[in-house]
């Protein structure tokens, strides 16, 4: 067992973690340094895949927009389950973080008149989305933050390293974390009085997801097992338009901005159907559009529908959406006919580790930011492009919070921490049979997709919980060995159980959580009526 100490430890290297590290390095004197722990390498997480953009409400530039309008749009999309104070706080800070990202070197797209270009996305009442290089916003922001980080002298990076367990003392105060370098097979006890979880989402518990392979819910499971409170675990957002390609573990996203620019959803018979499900048509909230696509695909005995981009114009589309164009080319999709095959896929998680406005969890010294945190911003359904905004705003605010905290690392272990560390000396050095874990992982994904997906029932949720318990028992019975995949599966099972349990408890539909049994859906026609009914409630 190795040992080290740092002033601040950030678990995760997406935009939220990178933003925080850059800010801390500029504003706080950390003699013991700031540590970033990332499971793979920099630039490998979900943030770089974000195409659409980042919400920025700047009325002095974008004169038709307002804070009040953004607040209303966010709460309407979240079905009123949002925390109003948090929504207001985030919206008011959106201009500040946009300017700060620009100061870090992010170059957002501009109009012909050299002014910031604002795009429109689903469920927004005004164009307010800043984007970079067309549809490469996440990649541009993350790359810029990575480059800026190179100028920070007091930031260290542990890559190919996974956080396994929080070191919580007998007073229920977090004092550090046990990490595992899976490439070199060694464990390390990292001591710090300020642990920040920024590990992203849970996408890999489902078969179809836009999330990378590393999104296995590690941070949420880490915090939950340590005793932190989690909430809103039933709210899983499925993006309506992922690129339909069966062979991919991570399904490429076809940004909602394409529909904002005029693309239309059509079924395989060429019928334009979105208007018959919602008065907002193609730009309805994501849960409404996702269910409409699933239902319409069933009517044509298909697994997908098409996004008709002909109204935008092929050449204009290629210029505005270079990333989507490249993805289509990589998957042998010919854009000359103006049709892109799309299907819903797990995209974003609204629940997670409960935090307050300063990103504090229910465990002292433990913070959470980004997708793994449940801040109160999103409610039952995330409004498009509010996610990158949330990452930046809460990282910005957490830097201010940490300026007021004691940053010296803990000096002594208590008995509980010693027992936690000793546990890892018992792990076998045997070579792991990853095929065994892969098989169990596939069983989990199949179970979650079939029973805890876009539509849910009491019977299906109970069935899922039974299967999850069976898989957990098989994992428990297998020899404990050094294996990244085993640790990931354990975390994924923890998150899957929390999602299914929360979905079972909430027996009515709201936002991204859709209980088909309580809406008395019996066939395709009533399915359509039920979607329309939910949409009417949402519009009020």
Same domain? For 137 and 31 the reply is: yes
Residue numbers of the domain that contains 382: 2-234+350-403
Non-local CB neighbours of 257 within 8 Å, separated by 6+ positions: 51, 52, 53, 119, 120, 121, 129, 131, 135, 321
Asked whether residue 415 is domain-assigned, the answer is no
CA–CA distance, 324 with 340 (Å, rounded to integer): 10
Same domain? For 264 and 117 the reply is: no
Same domain? For 252 and 271 the reply is: yes
Distances (CA, A) of 438 to 110, 434, 452: 46, 6, 20
Helix, coil or strand: residue 309 = coil
Give Dmax (Cα) for the chain: 69
Asked whether residue 511 is domain-assigned, the answer is no
pTM: 0.91
In the prediction, which pLDDT does 221 show? 98
Structural domains in the chain (count): 3
Same domain? For 394 and 451 the reply is: no
Active-site residue identified among 128, 139, 286, 515: 286
Number of helices and strands in the chain (H, E): 15, 19
CA–CA distance, 397 with 39 (Å, rounded to integer): 25
Q: For residue range 209-263, list pLDDT tens digits in order.
A: 999 999 999 999 999 999 999 999 999 999 999 999 876 677 888 988 899 899 9
Asked whether residue 412 is domain-assigned, the answer is no
Non-local CB neighbours of 255 within 8 Å, separated by 6+ positions: 51, 52, 135, 241, 321, 324
Same domain? For 262 and 308 the reply is: yes
Virtual CA dihedral for 59, 63, 68, 69, nearest 10 degrees?
A: -130
Closest to 168 measured CA to CA, from 198, 192, 188: 192
Same domain? For 388 and 464 the reply is: no
Asked whether residue 408 is domain-assigned, the answer is no
Asked whether residue 399 is domain-assigned, the answer is yes
Provide the CATH number for the domain around residue 480.
1.20.58.100
Provide the CATH number for the domain around residue 83.
3.50.50.60
In the prediction, which pLDDT does 481 show? 67
Active site (annotated) includes residue 484? no
Helix (H), strand (E), coil (C) string for 203-259: HHHCCCECCCCCCCCHHHHHHHHHCCCEECCCCEEEEEEEECCCCCCCCCECCCHHH
Structure tokens at 432: 């792991």
CA–CA distance, 374 with 345 (Å, rounded to integer): 21
Non-local CB neighbours of 356 within 8 Å, separated by 6+ positions: none
Provide the CATH number for the domain around residue 256.
3.90.700.10
Structure tokens at 93: 């800070």
In the prediction, which pLDDT does 525 show? 46
Same domain? For 50 and 196 the reply is: yes
Same domain? For 114 and 78 the reply is: yes
Same domain? For 446 and 325 the reply is: no
Asked whether residue 27 is domain-assigned, the answer is yes
Residue by residue, DSSP assigns 149-167 as HTT-TTEEEE-SEEEEEEE
CA–CA distance, 345 with 289 (Å, rounded to integer): 12
Dihedrals phi, psi of 95, to nearest 5 degrees: -65, -40
Same domain? For 170 and 31 the reply is: yes
CA–CA distance, 19 with 101 (Å, rounded to integer): 9
Q: Which parts of the chain sit beneath pLDDT 70?
A: 48, 247-248, 428-431, 478-481, 519-540
Closest to 36 measured CA to CA, from 163, 151, 143, 144: 163
Same domain? For 86 and 139 the reply is: yes
Asked whether residue 358 is domain-assigned, the answer is yes
Asked whether residue 305 is domain-assigned, the answer is yes
Same domain? For 137 and 205 the reply is: yes
């Amino acid at each position: 067992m190795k040992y080290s100490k740092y002033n601040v430890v950030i678990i995760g290297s997406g935009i939220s973690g990178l933003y925080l590290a850059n800010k801390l390095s500029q504003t706080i004197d950390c003699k013991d340094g700031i540590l970033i722990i990332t499971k793979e390498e920099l630039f490998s997480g979900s943030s770089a895949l974000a195409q659409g953009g980042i919400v920025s409400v700047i009325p002095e530039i974008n004169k038709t927009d307002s804070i009040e309008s953004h607040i209303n749009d966010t709460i309407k999309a979240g079905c009123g389950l949002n925390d109003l104070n948090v929504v207001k706080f985030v919206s008011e800070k959106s201009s500040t973080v946009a300017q700060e990202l620009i100061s870090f070197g992010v170059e957002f797209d501009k109009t012909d008149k050299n002014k910031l270009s604002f795009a429109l996305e689903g469920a927004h009442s005004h164009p307010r989305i800043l984007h970079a290089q067309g549809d490469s916003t996440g990649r541009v922001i993350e790359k810029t933050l990575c480059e800026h980080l190179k100028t920070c002298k007091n930031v260290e990076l542990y890559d190919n390293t996974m956080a396994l367990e929080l070191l919580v003392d007998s007073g229920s105060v977090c004092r550090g974390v046990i990490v595992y370098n899976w490439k070199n097979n060694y464990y390390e006890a990292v001591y710090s009085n300020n642990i920040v979880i920024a590990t992203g989402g849970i996408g890999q518990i489902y078969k179809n997801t836009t999330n990378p392979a590393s999104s296995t819910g590690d941070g949420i499971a880490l915090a939950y097992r340590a005793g932190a409170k989690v909430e809103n675990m039933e709210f899983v957002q499925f993006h309506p338009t992922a690129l339909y390609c069966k062979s991919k573990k991570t399904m490429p996203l076809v940004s909602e901005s394409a529909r904002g620019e005029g693309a239309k959803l059509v079924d395989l018979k060429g019928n334009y159907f979105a208007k018959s499900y919602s008065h907002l048509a193609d730009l309805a909230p994501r849960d409404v559009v996702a269910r409409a696509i699933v239902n319409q695909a069933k009517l044509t005995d298909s697994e997908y529908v098409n996004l008709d981009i002909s109204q935008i114009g092929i050449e204009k589309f290629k210029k505005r959406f270079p990333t989507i164009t490249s993805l289509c080319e990589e998957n042998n999709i010919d854009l000359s006919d103006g049709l892109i095959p799309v299907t819903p896929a797990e995209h974003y998680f609204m629940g997670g580790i409960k935090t307050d406005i300063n990103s504090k969890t229910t465990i002292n010294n433990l913070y959470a930011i980004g997708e793994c945190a449940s801040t109160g911003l999103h409610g039952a359904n995330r409004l498009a492009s509010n996610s990158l905004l949330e990452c930046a705003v809460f990282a910005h605010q957490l830097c201010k919070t940490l300026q007021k905290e004691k940053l010296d690392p803990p000096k002594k272990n208590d008995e509980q921490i010693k027992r936690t560390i000793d546990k890892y000396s018992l792990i076998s050095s045997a070579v792991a049979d990853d095929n065994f874990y892969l098989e169990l992982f596939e069983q989990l994904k199949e179970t979650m997709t079939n029973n805890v997906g876009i539509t849910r029932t009491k019977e299906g949720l109970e069935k899922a919980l039974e299967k999850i318990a069976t898989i957990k028992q098989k994992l428990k019975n297998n020899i404990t060995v050094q294996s990244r995949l085993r640790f990931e599966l354990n975390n994924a099972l923890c998150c899957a159980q929390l999602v299914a349990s929360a979905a079972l408890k909430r027996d009515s539909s709201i936002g991204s959580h859709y209980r088909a049994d309580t809406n008395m859906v019996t066939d395709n026609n009533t399915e359509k009526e039920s979607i329309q009914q939910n949409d009417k409630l949402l519009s009020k």
